[in-house]
Amino acid sequence: MFRRQPGSLPKDPIFQDALKETGHFIADDGTIRQVNKPKEFFVFRATDNERFNEVRKEAVNGAIRKELKKRMIKEGMQVWYLPQLQTRKPKEAHVPILTTPPQVLRRCKRVIVVVNEDSQDLGVFAWRDIGGEPGLDGGSVLGIVKELNRRFSNPVNCSWPVGQESSSDSDDTPTAEVPSDCNEATQVAKDLKKIHYPDAPGLIVLNSGQLRYSPKENRAMNTITWHDRPRKSALHPMSPVDEDWNTVPGHRNALQHIKWVFDRISTDSNWVSPKAEIYVVALNSGARHMLQLLDEEWPKYSRLITAMAITQSYGVAENIDNPELRCFLRRRCRAWMGSDAPLNAPIALPEGSNPSTPQPSYTISELSNGMDETVYYPTFSTGEWLFAEQIFPAIQTHVLDWFEEVARDAFGYKNPEFELYVAPPEPETVEPVEPVEDESEPVLPHDSQQGPGTDAASSTVLADGVGVLGAFPASDDAFDYATADEAEPALGSWGKPESPEKVMIAGTLVPKSMAEMAGLGGLVTERASTRTPEMDLEVQLEDKDKKKDDEEGVQDRKDSQVV
């Protein structure tokens, strides 16, 4: 048996987490551009080698993660590591999250919790958008952070209701000691809080994607990054995942991670005020995990959540059993799905009106894509077909607008009645039928006994029902059970076709007219001048054989008629 030595295997491509090494840079508008082609964005398929493309992409993503972290700090966010609950990166298994500094967060009357899907990186909504025209702001949490800062930097432009500051909101509120490595973000957040509207919401960004942990690299990563890690060679498989060594206790899957954050942070008065209103944004698979947790423990979390927005909701709410949760979703939840219907058009609604008491079940409504699902909340269109990960960046301003609407009456709000959008019928385009000229020969007329014929001016017709083909019989019975010899007199001038003159071409007799049509007229003339008696005899024998075959065919038909 033969095997290759390890040294002879192709080396695994290696890139550093640096944009410059991969030939990219971050433009002033936050987009990722190519150094050699500044007008073009990041291109994944740089070569035909799939492994090379994946490792190169991971190097670009690694550099972008570092840049996003820097920009988040400038906007007043912090990275906290779980389950240690510290800002300094630990040396054991951990999962990072993004949050407003706790000194500021616990003073916020409103908190937005983002539950991302379980295949993304921390703070990343869509790598497609980051590598394309939307850039860093359009494809990450950085966009919603900047939008919140913009909305609340000027009280005149803010539509959230004015709240009265309580004693717990004053500057005398005791604060926990903050490690030195997060002082910068804390100071930035405090400065923003001073100039922003007093009711500016805080932000907590969960990380249900980076639940793989590498002790060798001491970092958390998602399944895609785990797949793109360095290998012994380009032909070696990826490292297997050990549930004990490569996952974090209490965060071994997305459901555990979400539950841990809500139990240890959202309900902890050192982080979130007990009077705070929590608004949840659940994206794609994160929505499924969030609804599963609420369905299992709704009495525990019902007092926390004021409203919830969901993206790409199809299939995430199939098994909701708690009637009180279903009532909440009907009143205080909205979803957005990819659709070519107008933006924010209702494309799926629960049946009936808003109930005053929890109902055991709801009927099935038909979604715009033609599939059936139990609809528990109003679902709206994104205005165009998008990838699931691109939905929230496209409609995040509309989600914030709706949260502001809920905040005006946080206690008594419920979704209004909507009218289901019905696409207008498409006009039927009937193509005009152009008349087709009939180039066939005119139909010959019948005689007077068979019916009226055609106009005499339009065809050649002789007297007494005789046309160009001769005399027609008085009735169709004239040909009933007639043999070939009996029917032959009725054909008039049709007769039998004369045998065409033939010539010898390449040892084969072919009609002379066919040879001339094939451009062999000169050869035919030459052969005619050199015609021999043997050739004439061969033609006569062939005609004799053909005549004999015709006579035998006629006799066979006669015999069949007699039988």
DSSP 9-75: SPPPP---S-TTTTTEEE-TTS-EEESS-TTSB--S-SSS-HHHHHHHHHHHHHHHHHHHHHHHHHT
472-478 LR contacts (CB < 8 Å, sep 24+): 472/446, 472/447, 474/447, 474/449, 475/449, 475/450
Q: Where are the domains of the chain?
A: 9-163+175-407
DSSP string, 81-108: EETTTBSSPPSSS-EEEEE--HHHHTT-
Helices (H), 237-322: 254-261, 285-296, 298-301
Confidence at residue 425, expressed as pLDDT on a 0 to 100 scale? 84
Question: Could you give the angle at the alpha carbon of 73 between the alpha carbons of 70 and 74, nearest 5°?
Answer: 90
Confidence at residue 477, expressed as pLDDT on a 0 to 100 scale? 47
pTM of this structure: 0.69
Confidence at residue 300, expressed as pLDDT on a 0 to 100 scale? 93
Confidence at residue 164, expressed as pLDDT on a 0 to 100 scale? 39
Confidence at residue 353, expressed as pLDDT on a 0 to 100 scale? 43
Alpha carbons within 13 A on the beta-carbon side of 397:
9
Confidence at residue 370, expressed as pLDDT on a 0 to 100 scale? 41
Confidence at residue 435, expressed as pLDDT on a 0 to 100 scale? 67
Confidence at residue 200, expressed as pLDDT on a 0 to 100 scale? 85
Cα–Cα distance for residue pair 390/541, rounded to 1 Å: 85
Q: How would you classify residue 464: left for phi > 0, otherwise alpha for psi between -120 and 50, otherwise beta? A: left
- Give the containing element (helix H, strand E) for 4: none
Asked whether 445 and 463 are in contact (CB, 8 A), the reply is no
The per-residue pLDDT string of the chain (563 residues; one tens digit each, 9 = 90 and over) reads 677 787 788 888 888 777 888 889 999 999 999 999 999 999 888 888 889 899 999 999 999 999 999 999 999 999 999 999 999 999 999 999 999 999 999 999 999 999 999 999 999 999 999 999 999 999 999 999 999 988 887 544 445 554 434 333 444 333 434 454 556 666 665 565 554 546 789 999 999 999 999 999 999 999 999 999 888 888 888 889 999 999 999 999 999 999 999 999 998 999 999 999 999 999 999 999 999 999 999 999 999 999 999 998 666 556 788 999 999 999 999 999 999 999 999 999 987 644 443 333 333 344 444 445 678 899 999 999 999 999 999 999 999 999 999 999 999 999 999 999 988 887 777 677 676 665 555 544 545 444 444 444 444 444 444 444 444 444 444 444 455 455 444 444 454 455 567 777 766 777 777 777 777 766 655 555 555 566 666 666 666 766 776 776 656 665 655 55
Cα–Cα distance for residue pair 511/502, rounded to 1 Å: 4
Indicate the pairing of strand 95-99 with strand 372-374. Answer: unpaired
Q: What is the CA radius of gyration of the chain?
A: 42
Around Cβ 70, how many Cβ atoms within 10 Å? 8
Residue 157: exposure state from Cβ atoms within 10 A (0-12, 13-18, ≥19)? exposed
Q: Residue 474's Cα: distance from chain center in Å?
A: 72
Q: How would you classify residue 320: left for phi > 0, otherwise alpha for psi between -120 and 50, otherwise beta? A: beta
Confidence at residue 356, expressed as pLDDT on a 0 to 100 scale? 40
Confidence at residue 553, expressed as pLDDT on a 0 to 100 scale? 67
Cα–Cα distance for residue pair 206/229, rounded to 1 Å: 24
Cβ-proximal residues to 377 (8 Å cutoff; 6+ apart), any chain: 310, 313, 317, 329, 330, 333, 334, 335, 350, 415
Q: Residue 459's Cα: distance from chain center in Å?
A: 64
Phi first, then psi, for residue 281 (nearest 5°) are -115, 110
Helix (H, G, I), strand (E, B) or coil at 393: helix
Asked whether 15 and 55 are in contact (CB, 8 A), the reply is yes
Asked whether 241 and 72 are in contact (CB, 8 A), the reply is no
557-562 LR contacts (CB < 8 Å, sep 24+): 557/483, 557/484, 558/483, 558/484, 558/485, 561/481, 561/483
Question: Could you give the angle at the alpha carbon of 429 between the alpha carbons of 424 and 434, nearest 5°?
Answer: 170
